[in-house]
Each structure stands twice: as C-alpha cells, then as structure tokens.
C-alpha cells in the first residue's frame, strides 16, 4: 500500500509578522531613545543653568544650602526664649475646659459681658502660667530668631515650634482679655504687642507653612485688638506704638523669603517621584500603573526636567511679585495650573497649595491695614470726642493715606451705624456685602471665604457721641 506524501508544515503568517516586527520595533525604540538623549542632556543643562542663576543672586539652590542660608543669630536668639516659655507652661485640663480660645468655652461677642465662670477660669489659668508670660515679656521684640529646624530634611523637617507659637498666641490673647476686664489698658496693649513679636520671630523662616503660622499668629493679634480696642483707654503714644508695630505684618520681604525657601523644598520633592511618597502626587496618571513606570515615562521624554523648569520659572515670578505690594494676588494661579500640560505633575500638584497660602496672606495684610485704620479712628475719637465723619479726616495726622482695598478699585469702606462703626474690605469674593462681620479668626484662613473682611469699633455711651 502506497505511503501518503508528507504534508508541508502549516505556516503561521502572524508569527512571521511578529518576528519581523520585534526587531523593527526594538530598532525604532533604540533610535528614539538615542535621539532623546541630546534633548534630555539639553534640558538637564537648562535646569543646571537656572540653579546657577539662583546661586548667583545669593539664594540657595539645594536643601543643604538652604540650611546654611537660614543663619543662626550670633547674639541673643528670641526663638530660645519663646521655646523656654512654651516649656514652662502649666496646662490643667479641668481649667482649660472653661476657657475661651484655649478651651471649649465660647468667646463673648465684642462688647458683650464675660460670664463670671469664664473670668474665674481665665484668672486661675493665667495665675498658673505667670512664668511663661514673664519669659515672653522679657524677650526683646526686635531680637533676631532662628528656630531649630533642619532644612536638609525637606518636607520631613520637624516643625514643633509652630504649635508652640500657636499656643503662646492664645495664652497672650487671654492675658490681654484679662487686663481689659481689670481696666489695665496699657498692659492689654503690651499683651497684643507681644503677640505681634511672636509673629515677627518667624519673619526669617524660609518655609511657606511657617509663614502660614506667622499669618495665624498675626491674625490672633488682630482678633485680640478688635475684641478689646473699643473699651481701651490707652494713651495716644501706646496706640501709635501698636500701629507702628503692625507695620511688620506688611513686610513684603517676608513672603518673598518664604517663597525662596519653598522653591528649593518643592524642587527636592521632584526626587520623590517613583517612591511611596509620590502616591498622592501623580493624580493625572492611571492608578494601576506602578510608580517606577510613571517615573520612567516621566523621565523618558524629558518631562522631569521640563516640569522642573516650569516650576522654577513660576516660583521666580511669584518671588518677584511678592516683593511688590499687592502684586502677588494678581497672579491667576488657578488659570496658570489649568493651562499646564497634564504631564507636569509636580508643578500642578504644588500650585493649589501655594494659591491657598498666598490668598490667606493677602487677607491678613488687608486685615492689618483695617486694624491700623481703626487705631487711627480710635486716636481721633480720643482727641476730638467723636468718630471722624470720613476716613479722609485722619490724613495726615493719624494716617499717611487712606488704605486702598486690594480687592476693589477704591479705598476701604467706612460705615457709621447706630451702635458701632465698621471699616471693611470687600474681601476675596470682590463683592460688597455691606460690611458683614467675620465671626472668628478662622475666616481669615479660609480660601473660599465669602463676605467682607471687617474691623468693628463699638460706640460707648458717655465716651463718644
């Protein structure tokens, strides 16, 4: 029987094509990779040039340089005194429960009677904390300071001193409140001045978060001033000194310095890409992609360096704007972020935080100008027996000029009401809400705050008409 002829093996056309495509694809990838090398080298050189430019301007370009740039004072260091004051505190939970500001008790409205249990709790708590209060008042308010922050740790640096300053601010708030209740008006002014000094101790901190706490401390000073000023019968000299002390809040170099340090801290964050610390950073990439994949894709086409250059360019703009009064808030950071390519992950992630902090800063600067205007009104009333009809009457004896509302195109508003006067700005929503009162200090820290930024002075029967 004849043997059937052998059949030829079945050809698989798809396998042949695949075998052909593999070397072609690898060759194409190799060519692309080789062509991208000079592009990446050029971008790396551009980043190095920008860092050299920063150094040539006298600013740090690495975390180690930042730590050296934030120098330690050769003489007395106010930071040591304030941290010693915090360490000397006596904190009794039973007493604190009946305290406003530090505890659960509500702070009375401006001009309202303080309940006796609250007065007793304040008196007891302050009596137990005379040591930290004495240490603060003995500290030179103009002494330089440098808290023990190791900037080489980047965002991981310990910032425990910021919590200490927030506590000391509240303690001084209670002291000012107690002095007013005891009609020790000059001492109440001294307590508010000491809160301002606490804020000034952060003037050299090259971190935006420290700057935010500085703003919070100053907000505490303004909050204390608003709650007490209507009842204070302090001397014209003391009120003038308080107004001059508030000038330190509006020091444009402080925010510029904080941004200068933040520029380097943010730049160091770029190195976190591909690590566990970057999990919340790459929000615009597929969640299932491993971090090393994201880092590789980001690096392959030079996006790492492009993102760095974009970030450094934006930070330079912000630092330059911060040096000029009321310029930084004119930057539309939200629109800038939306116009960025989505692969610029780090710059896009950082900008919303910066926008919030800058908005908060602008609000406290505005609130400070309102407070200084209120002090001028108070001084005018003490000299003339009545509040001025318009703010123009304060110029030039009490004010150089009437402040301009940075959120509007005119001067700050001034309203006479039956029981009070209100000085206000239309605030970040740029809508005149007829001087709606802010309820507490948290209003100054909210980026989405609605309503006006206000300062209220009460009319007191027998003192003003």
Residue-wise pLDDT tens digits, 30-65? 676 666 678 888 899 999 999 999 999 999 999 999
Residue-wise pLDDT tens digits, 133-186? 999 999 999 999 999 999 999 999 999 999 999 999 999 999 999 999 999 999
The pLDDT, as a whole number, for residue 277 is 42
Length of the chain: 465
Q: Which residue has the tokens 């093996």?
A: 9
The pLDDT, as a whole number, for residue 17 is 65
Q: Tell me which of 110-119, 277-286, 386-395 is least confident.
A: 277-286
Report the 10 Å Cβ neighbour count for 82.
Answer: 23
Q: Specify the pairing of strand 420-425 against strand 453-458.
A: antiparallel
Report the 10 Å Cβ neighbour count for 11.
Answer: 8
> Is 375 a residue whose pLDDT tops 60?
yes
> Is 380 a residue whose pLDDT tops 90?
yes
Identify the three-state secondary structure at position 412: coil
The pLDDT, as a whole number, for residue 345 is 76
> Is 330 a residue whose pLDDT tops 80?
no
Identify the three-state secondary structure at position 109: coil
Residue-wise pLDDT tens digits, 413-464? 999 999 999 999 998 888 898 888 654 444 444 444 468 999 999 987 544 4
Closest CA to 456 of 69, 110, 24, 210: 110
The pLDDT, as a whole number, for residue 463 is 42
Residue-wise pLDDT tens digits, 87-103? 999 987 777 888 999 99
Strand order in the sheet with 453-458: 413-416, 420-425, 453-458
Tokens of 177: 């409140």
> Is 292 a residue whose pLDDT tops 70?
no
The pLDDT, as a whole number, for residue 192 is 98
Mean predicted confidence (pLDDT) in 333-345: 77
The pLDDT, as a whole number, for residue 40 is 81
The pLDDT, as a whole number, for residue 88 is 97
**pTM, two decimal places:** 0.85
Beta bridge partners of 457: 421
Residue-wise pLDDT tens digits, 262-272? 999 999 988 76
Q: Tell me which of 150-159, 240-249, 287-296, 392-401 is least confident.
A: 287-296
pLDDT-above-90 percentage for the chain: 59
> Is 373 a residue whose pLDDT tops 60?
yes
Mean predicted confidence (pLDDT) in 303-311: 90
């Amino acid at each position: 029987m004849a043997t059937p002829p052998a059949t030829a093996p079945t050809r698989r056309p798809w396998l042949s094509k695949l075998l052909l495509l593999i070397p072609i694809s690898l060759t194409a990838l190799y060519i692309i990779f080789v062509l991208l090398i000079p592009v990446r080298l050029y971008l790396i050189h551009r980043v190095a040039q920008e860092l050299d430019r920063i150094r040539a301007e006298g600013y740090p370009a690495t975390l180690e340089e930042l730590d050296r740039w934030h120098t330690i004072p050769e003489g007395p260091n106010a930071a040591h005194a304030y941290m010693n004051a915090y360490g000397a505190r006596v904190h009794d939970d039973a007493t604190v429960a009946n305290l406003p500001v530090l505890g659960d008790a509500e702070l009375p409205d401006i001009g309202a009677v303080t309940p006796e249990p609250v007065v007793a709790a304040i008196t007891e708590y302050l009596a137990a904390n005379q040591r930290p209060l004495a240490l603060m008042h003995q500290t030179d308010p103009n002494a330089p300071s440098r808290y023990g922050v190791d900037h080489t740790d980047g965002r991981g640096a310990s910032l425990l001193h910021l919590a200490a300053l927030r506590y000391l601010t509240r303690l001084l708030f209670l002291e000012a409140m107690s002095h007013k209740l005891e009609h020790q008006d000059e001492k109440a002014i001294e307590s508010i001045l000491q809160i301002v000094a606490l804020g000034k101790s952060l003037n050299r901190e090259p971190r935006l978060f420290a700057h935010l706490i500085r703003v919070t401390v100053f907000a505490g000073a303004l909050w204390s001033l608003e709650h007490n000023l209507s009842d204070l019968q302090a001397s014209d000299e003391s009120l003038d000194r308080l107004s001059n002390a508030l000038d330190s809040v509006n020091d444009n170099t402080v925010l510029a310095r904080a941004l200068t340090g933040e520029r380097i801290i943010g730049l160091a964050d770029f190195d976190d890409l591909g690590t566990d610390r970057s999990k919340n950073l790459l929000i615009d990439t597929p969640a299932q992609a491993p971090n090393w994949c994201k880092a590789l894709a980001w690096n392959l086409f030079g996006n790492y360096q492009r993102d760095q250059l974009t970030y450094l360019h934006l930070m330079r703009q912000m630092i330059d704007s911060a040096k000029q009064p009321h310029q930084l808030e004119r930057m539309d950071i939200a629109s800038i972020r939306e116009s960025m390519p989505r692969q610029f992950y780090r710059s896009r992630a950082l900008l919303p935080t910066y926008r919030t902090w800058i908005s908060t800063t602008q609000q406290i600067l505005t609130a400070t100008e309102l407070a200084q205007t209120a002090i001028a009104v108070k001084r005018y009333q003490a000299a003339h027996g009545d509040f001025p009809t318009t703010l123009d009457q304060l110029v030039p004896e009490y004010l150089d000029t009437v402040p301009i509302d940075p959120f509007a195109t005119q001067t700050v508003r001034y309203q006479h009401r039956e029981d009070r006067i209100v000085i206000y700005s239309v605030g970040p929503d740029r809508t005149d809400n007829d001087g709606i009162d802010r309820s507490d200090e948290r209003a100054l820290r909210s980026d989405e705050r609605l309503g006006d930024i206000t300062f209220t002075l009460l009319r007191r029967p027998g003192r003003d008409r």
